[in-house]
Structure 1
Amino acid sequence: MISETIKKDGPARQGMLANVMRQFEHAADSIELNPNIRKILAITNNELVVHFPVKMDSGEIEVFTGYRVQHNNALGPYKGGLRYHPTVDLDAARALAMWMTWKTALAGLPYGGAKGGIQIDPKKYSNAELERITRRFTYALGDNIGPELDIPAPDVNTNSQTMAWILDTYMSTRTPNERSKNLHVVTGKPIGAGGSEGRDRATGFGVFLTVKFWAEKEKLDLKGKTFIVQGFGNVGYWASWFLEKEGAKLIAVQDVTGTYYNKEGIPVDELNDYQKSAGSLEGYNNAALMANDKFFATDCDICIPAALGNQITASNAHDIKAKVIAEGANGPTDIDAEEVLLQKDITIIPDILCNSGGVIGSYFEWLQNRNGEIWTMDEVMEKLEKKLKTSFDRVMNLSQERGVDTRTAAFMIAIERLEQAYIQRGIFP
């Protein structure tokens, strides 16, 4: 059984760009953004669409379409993930690239924003085919990516192996003298290929940390609190793992195969082990199947949407009972739903803050590669927590000072940083 919430990607995909633009315009109005800078930030810098042929295991040729949208690089190289999903198109990449610009600016990183990927359902292809598709896509991108220009990372349906294939392909196109200087062309690599300790769990750890900071702010103990997670991939798993260690209880999880509920709690590692062996959550017998459209209505303390965009809509927002929504995914809440949630006094930890642990971890990896350093897991986690706490406090403080919601506060901080950069640098010529 396929989740109707996650399945309806068409309308969600079309709405993501409209959502991020409305969020941007609202924050821009709130800070009275310079109208000339508003024009610049409202559009992307570069948009690349590539069509490339790949030989399948059968010997037949299939042509794929890949995208890379570079939104802004006023603060540094473009940075953002590559996803392999049927919903990938130009509008989706535009929206996600813009969110990356705000995310890196909010985190105080020397990066801009980019996003892209391939319009593909990776489950339909063998591992050997995915390797050839990835390498051919990398070759098609050519000099449009680079360690000081545009640095891809894993995203939906891509992982450290994908990044290793991109790294190897990119380095093979460089001269022997250049190869040692290009290790940081991608982040999220395997440890043996120059990856960083902790990068695998950085996004989920960041989601957990922002929930922890929220609980501390509200003087709440996470022990005994209940949470639900939509999407049990890398982000959903690690966010759940850290929350469980704090004594919180996972009571419902949803993936493309259905919604699984157990009010007594679902053991996180047991669920992860089952998913690894079965390939999905389908058939997991330590939880009962429940109707997909009842997932967000589950009585819980914490809701973590960690799947795709526009999953919380005006049609289901009224049913949400959680005290806080921690946006592990990019753009999981649409504008109309957000108005409902704010009226219900539900706290939203916005995506550009909540899931920024991933890009912060990527920055640490990039920095280590660039400087020839190797940090321990403890060093990475400690630096990540410190950086996220700074961002969290700034957002919450501004939200209170200006009387705005948390998303608007986060956008205001990000956009003001970019505005300052443009004012100080001027516009060429």
Structure 2
Amino acid sequence: MTTITAALNNKIKKTPVRGMMDNVMEQFHTAADHIDLHPSIRKILSITNNEIVVHFPVKMDNGEVEIFTGYRVQHNNALGPYKGGLRYHPTVDIDAARALAMWMTWKTSLAGLPYGGGKGGIQIDPSKYSQGELERITRRFTFALADNIGPEHDIPAPDVNTNSQTMAWIADTYMSTRPPAERTANQHVVTGKPDGSGGLEGRDRATGYGVFLNIKCWLKRNNETLYGKKFIVQGFGNVGYWASHFLEKEGAKLVAVQDAFGSIENQQGIAVEDLMNYTKTNDGSIVDFPEASVLEKDGFLGTECDICIPAALGNQITKNNAASIKATLIAEGANGPTNGEGEKILLDRGITIIPDILCNSGGVIGSYFEWLQNRNGELWQLGEVMQKLDKKMEESFNKVYEYSEREGMDLRTAAYCIAIKRIEKAYVQRGIFP
């Protein structure tokens, strides 16, 4: 693993993950009050369905055995199989998994997908392990979870510190545990796989592209275009890069970036591809990029701009910095980047927030396309994938925007109301067993 990963891990350790659960519950109850959610359904959605904790041994390269702890929280499956990522990080615990699983339930419901919500991972700092050790850890974790995941039950995907290679190991291990006649029929047990192993062409850019589309849709609704707009990005990984790539193509200007190592600024514009190419030769970091100046870390979110894209960690916009933000639009590329206190300040200042469950849902929509492709034995071309993503994302945005305007509420509350109503309808129609 690179040193940039280690630095990111050290930074995330300081983020209070317990606050995420407070955020998601506050957001849920605010929306539930607005729609007068049935008390029994509120009770059901306030808790998780299943919480799986596994402890498993793995032999290290030096011959010693280490014991790891893994988690999978399955929040709700009223609309379909549980869906959500697996992250490898020291902060992974049951509370973080609960919050992230609940967010996935709202996200998949809002997108109109036949999924519920789940999340999990392993409490581990992956920078301390070799590639071979990570493979063995992943395969052993999959074996421990094998009876709790499945292509029609619970479908993991990549998240923090996991990627397409991780998903390929999980798929291979899971399929190896199935009877021979069923193995190829279980390829869609995970999504986010490599192209050559059943992955979807374009899945790598789906989340960032969705962020771009949401920003574009919001500007269109306000009779504006992207041309000449200045934007800043916190996190220049997969989501931050692809969002920047598409924004720049439509005339917007990247003026500041922050990663785990530092922050840079150039009000004349930072060329997205030049910066990405630079990071590939600089251990993944933006630091010392020659076409930009150093920016103080604490002042990053207060940089002069039109659009701010937090695409790194949770709980980044708080009461301590919300008043300094100069952007008129926040597009949440990360999960839970704005806490409740920070959000109140932003809304009072008239700043619009495109919420995470809408803004970054391109990833799970892309995952749904991959799942369908595997399930139906099809191969979709990139152009077809992007066209489908365009349609789905625009439908979701318009639905939330119009509800927000009609009900006189912020976009996050509108998104939650729509998501929760869809789940409530399923319970009302089916009833509660027995």
Greater mean alpha carbon deviation, residues 262-271 or residues 363-372: 262-271
Residue 43 of structure 2 is matched in structure 1 by: 39
Q: For 1:337, give the aligned amino acid.
A: G
Q: 2:277 aligns with which of 259, 270, 273?
A: 273
1:109 partner SS? coil
RMSD of equivalent CA atoms: 1.6
Contact conserved, 1:70 with 1:97, CA < 8 A, in 2? Answer: yes
2:233 aligned with 1:235: no
Q: How does 1:197-208 map to 2 (within 5 A)?
A: 197-208=201-212
The structural deviation recorded for 1:130 is 1.2
What does the per-residue CA deviation read over 1:59-105, in whole Å, with 9 as the maximum and x for residues that have no partner?
A: 22222111110000000000001111222111110000000000000
Q: 1:103 aligns with which of 91, 107, 121?
A: 107
The structural deviation recorded for 1:8 is 5.8
Q: 2:352 aligns with which of 329, 337, 347?
A: 347
1:315 partner SS? coil
2:296 aligned with 1:291: yes
Go from structure 1 to structure 2 and tell me whether the alpha carbon gap of 1:376 and 1:4 turns closer, same or farther (over 3 Å shift): closer
Q: 1:307 aligns with which of 308, 312, 315?
A: 312
1:48 partner SS? strand
Q: How does 1:278-427 map to 2 (within 5 A)?
A: 278-281=282-285, 282-427=287-432
- Matches of 1:245 and 1:343, distance apart in 2: 32
Residue 73 of structure 2 is matched in structure 1 by: 69
Q: How does 1:12-91 map to 2 (within 5 A)?
A: 12-91=16-95
Q: How does 1:96-135 map to 2 (within 5 A)?
A: 96-135=100-139
1:12 partner SS? coil
What does the per-residue CA deviation read over 1:322-358, in whole Å, with 9 as the maximum and x for residues that have no partner?
A: 0100000000000010000001111100000000000
Q: For 1:400, give the aligned amino acid.
A: E
Q: For 1:258, give the aligned amino acid.
A: G
Greater mean alpha carbon deviation, residues 374-383 or residues 125-134: 125-134
The structural deviation recorded for 1:53 is 1.6
- Matches of 1:262 and 1:55, distance apart in 2: 48
Go from structure 1 to structure 2 and tell me whether the alpha carbon gap of 1:309 and 1:295 turns closer, same or farther (over 3 Å shift): same
2:37 partner SS? coil
- Matches of 1:98 and 1:115, distance apart in 2: 8
Go from structure 1 to structure 2 and tell me whether the alpha carbon gap of 1:193 and 1:74 turns closer, same or farther (over 3 Å shift): same
Q: For 2:345, give the aligned amino acid.
A: V
The structural deviation recorded for 1:180 is 1.3
Go from structure 1 to structure 2 and tell me whether the alpha carbon gap of 1:186 and 1:311 turns closer, same or farther (over 3 Å shift): same
The structural deviation recorded for 1:255 is 1.0
1:416 partner SS? helix
Q: For 1:237, give the aligned amino acid.
A: Y
Go from structure 1 to structure 2 and tell me whether the alpha carbon gap of 1:6 and 1:130 turns closer, same or farther (over 3 Å shift): closer
1:117 partner SS? strand
2:205 partner SS? helix
- Structure 1 unmatched runs, 5+: none
Q: For 1:207, give the aligned amino acid.
A: V
Contact conserved, 1:82 with 1:155, CA < 8 A, in 2? Answer: yes
The structural deviation recorded for 1:278 is 2.4
- Matches of 2:217 and 2:93, distance apart in 1: 35
Q: For 2:425, give the aligned amino acid.
A: Q
Identity across aligned pairs (percent)?
69
The structural deviation recorded for 1:4 is 11
1:314 partner SS? coil
What does the per-residue CA deviation read over 1:235-279, in whole Å, with 9 as the maximum and x for residues that have no partner?
A: 111111111111111111111111111222211112212222322
- Matches of 1:22 and 1:9, distance apart in 2: 23
Residue 177 of structure 2 is matched in structure 1 by: 173
- Matches of 1:339 and 1:6, distance apart in 2: 29
Greater mean alpha carbon deviation, residues 160-169 or residues 8-17: 8-17
- Matches of 1:292 and 1:55, distance apart in 2: 40
Q: For 1:299, give the aligned amino acid.
A: E
Go from structure 1 to structure 2 and tell me whether the alpha carbon gap of 1:6 and 1:57 turns closer, same or farther (over 3 Å shift): closer
TM-score normalized by the length of structure 1:
0.97
Go from structure 1 to structure 2 and tell me whether the alpha carbon gap of 1:5 and 1:314 turns closer, same or farther (over 3 Å shift): farther
Greater mean alpha carbon deviation, residues 228-237 or residues 19-28: 228-237
Go from structure 1 to structure 2 and tell me whether the alpha carbon gap of 1:267 and 1:79 turns closer, same or farther (over 3 Å shift): same
Contact conserved, 2:202 with 2:382, CA < 8 A, in 1? Answer: yes
The structural deviation recorded for 1:283 is 3.6
Contact conserved, 2:288 with 2:294, CA < 8 A, in 1? Answer: no
TM-score normalized by the length of structure 2:
0.96
Greater mean alpha carbon deviation, residues 2-11 or residues 262-271: 2-11
The structural deviation recorded for 1:378 is 0.9
1:74 partner SS? coil
Length, aligned pairs only: 429
Contact conserved, 2:226 with 2:251, CA < 8 A, in 1? Answer: yes
- Matches of 2:110 and 2:259, distance apart in 1: 30
Q: 1:157 aligns with which of 144, 158, 161?
A: 161
- Matches of 2:20 and 2:381, distance apart in 1: 37
Go from structure 1 to structure 2 and tell me whether the alpha carbon gap of 1:5 and 1:151 turns closer, same or farther (over 3 Å shift): closer
